[in-house]
Structure 1
Amino acid sequence: MEYARKVGSKIKLYSELVMFSHTLFSLPFAIISMVWAANGLPSVHVMIWGLIALVAARNGANAFNRVVDRIYDAQNPRTAHRHLPQQLLEAKEVLMFVVINYGIFIAASAMLNPLCFLLSPVAIFLISSYSYTKRFTYLSHLYLGFTIASAPIGAWFAVTGKFAFTPFVLGTIVMLWIAGFDIIYGSQDIEFDRKHGLWSIPSYFGLKNGLRIAAALHLLMVLLLLALIPLRGLGWTYGIGIGVAVVLLLTEHRIIKPGNRQVMKIASYNLNQVISMVILFMTLIDFYLG
């Protein structure tokens, strides 16, 4: 009983470490990509191994980022409570967690098709290198979005084993969306970033200009979502979903208060989790009932 309790406690710590709930940012777009690629439900084999690959890659990348950033996290009052600064987990065991997850990702990719297996080391390099970008470029937000964009692109590859235009449009949408709300989130750390030589759009361009850039990225995201209507022959149900997403994005930009952590969590995370789920459900309804 005591052993089970310890295992459960450790699982909870790792789930918190990698912010497992944030899978809702990438998973919905990966599902859309799979459904479109398969023109319906993909095989159970593809769904299972595709999901395993996505979760393993994401867990490994997030855990690696925590290890790389642990010194800065310890100095930042906003992040000092995280697991590594608080020594709730050790860097060595987190790195082992990273290796295990990346190994699972490569194995799952091999179970999908040769293209996914061939690209798996490239994906690992991309999702791991993000952790260092904030040290030398304010474009780190876009790079983060670029790495997460691999979810819908990889999902398409998992189903078809081939390149196509649609998944790269979906990937660009995800990149713009993630970069936009990561800029919003980063506006909390303007002074800290400047003091410690870290790069971000808010610290480089200032708060107002940074938020304008975030809004511009989200506008481009919406335009690409609309461009999918003629590209994929989508109907009014999908359009309603985009309308709801636009309202939520406008709300997100309206409530931004960098000094209020709770409000910033809602603006940067909670609302965007709702946005991705709205787009997913309305797209699926449009696909099956439209």
Structure 2
Amino acid sequence: MEKLLKKLNDFNELVMFKHSIFSLPFIFIAMVVAANGWFGFKLMILGILAALTARNFAMGFNRYMDRDIDALNPRTVNRPNVDGRISASSMLIFTIANALGFILIAYFVNDLALYLSLPILFVIGSYSYFKRFSYLAHIILGISLGLAPIAGVVTVLETIPLWSVFLSIGVMFWVAGFDLLYSLQDIEVDKKLNLHSIPSKFGAKKTMLISKVFHFFTVVFWLLFVINSESSFFAYLAVIISALMLSYEHYLVNKDFTKIDKAFFTVNGYLGIVFFILIVLDNIFY
């Protein structure tokens, strides 16, 4: 039993399960708005399973592909994909199993979800390649998580309304913006390994400016989501609070690069949760 728990903990570290906090709230935000409230236990369970299998696939594939790069980066050298705790074959099996699980779950959701399952897997898997030839990898990561609201609304409505597109584009810019800040830690490593990233190409100062621009667009598209979905007070409050939290995130990073982890995990994690709670309240009271 102890050996099994240790192995589960290694896989938990491999896929960084706690990072699910970035995508899960926005899947359920889309589902709540699509259903005008509660969408049922069945869809809740299917939504959670779809999100987890998709993310496990993406992270497992990324760790499998990046094990050569991670072995040369002091920040990642102790990851399970590098230090031998999880073998390459185990990662590959884990990745394939989660891909198949995601497709199976999509089958039980509806026809449109099934049709979109393979394209979604292709997009979220492609991130692992982009850093090797294009600094637009940050955008690809943003698109990958930006698909979360689309998946949520398709689960409930089996269609893609305009408001969900605005919400998704906002998530894309949000994720790309905070990934830029997180990537500041690897500027020198990226240059040394000839990896492509905005920080290594444009430098820290311009990267922080680009991140600010991305987060400005985040707020704009989330505001368009609120307007187009005909939401009310609490939804507008969610956008305002998100703008304040993103401003605080940039304040932390501008003040001290050592605060990047706090900005990345704490601020962005709470942002998604607060946004979700306020959208739920909006659908309860309006």
- Decide: shared fold, TM above 0.5: yes
Encode CA deviations 1:77-125: one digit per residue, 9 max, x unaligned: 1111111111111111011111111111011000001111111111111
Letter in 2 for 1:28: P
Query: Of the candidates 70, 81, 96, which is equivalent to residue 73 of structure 1?
Result: 70
C-alpha distance in 1, partners of 2:224/2:166? Answer: 9
C-alpha distance in 1, partners of 2:240/2:112? Answer: 36
Letter in 1 for 2:271: I
Residue in 1 aligned with 2:14?
17
* Structure 2 stretches lacking a partner, 5+ long: none
C-alpha distance in 2, partners of 1:257/1:70? Answer: 31
Give secondary structure in 2 for the equivalent of 1:149.
Answer: helix
C-alpha distance in 1, partners of 2:78/2:33? Answer: 41
Query: Of the candidates 179, 199, 202, which is equivalent to residue 202 of structure 1?
Result: 199
Letter in 2 for 1:95: L
Q: Determine if the alignment matches structure 1 residue 59 to structure 2 residue 59.
A: no
Query: Of the candidates 265, 268, 274, which is equivalent to residue 264 of structure 2?
Result: 268
CA RMSD of aligned residues (A): 1.5
Residue in 1 aligned with 2:146?
149
* Structure 1 stretches lacking a partner, 5+ long: none
1:95-174 correspondence runs (5 A): 95-174=92-171
Q: Determine if the alignment matches structure 1 residue 237 to structure 2 residue 237.
A: no
> Quick one: structure 1 residues 227 and 259, their matched pair in 2 at CA, closer, same or farther if it must change by over 3 Å?
closer
Task: List structure 1 segments (4+ residues) > 3 angstroms apart after TM superposition.
Answer: 257-261
Deviation at 1:257, TM superposition (A): 6.3
On the 8 A contact 2:37/2:280 being kept in 1, the answer is: no
Counting matched residue pairs gives 286
Q: TM-score, normalised by structure 2?
A: 0.96
Residue in 2 aligned with 1:28?
25
Encode CA deviations 1:188-245: one digit per residue, 9 max, x unaligned: 1111111111111111111100110000000010111222332122222222222222
C-alpha distance in 1, partners of 2:100/2:8? Answer: 19
Q: Determine if the alignment matches structure 1 residue 287 to structure 2 residue 283.
A: yes
Question: Structure with the greater relative contact order (CA < 8 A, sep ≥ 6): 1 or 2?
Answer: 2
Give secondary structure in 1 for the equivalent of 2:71.
Answer: helix
Q: TM-score, normalised by structure 1?
A: 0.95
C-alpha distance in 2, partners of 1:30/1:92? Answer: 31
Residue in 2 aligned with 1:186?
183
Tell me the percent identity: 36
Query: Of the candidates 82, 85, 100, which is equivalent to residue 85 of structure 1?
Result: 82
C-alpha distance in 2, partners of 1:257/1:222? Answer: 20
C-alpha distance in 1, partners of 2:33/2:273? Answer: 17
After TM superposition, the structure 1 stretch with the greater mean CA deviation from structure 2, 210-219 or 162-171, is: 162-171
On the 8 A contact 2:164/2:225 being kept in 1, the answer is: no
Query: Of the candidates 2, 6, 13, which is equivalent to residue 5 of structure 1?
Result: 2
After TM superposition, the structure 1 stretch with the greater mean CA deviation from structure 2, 222-231 or 17-26, is: 222-231
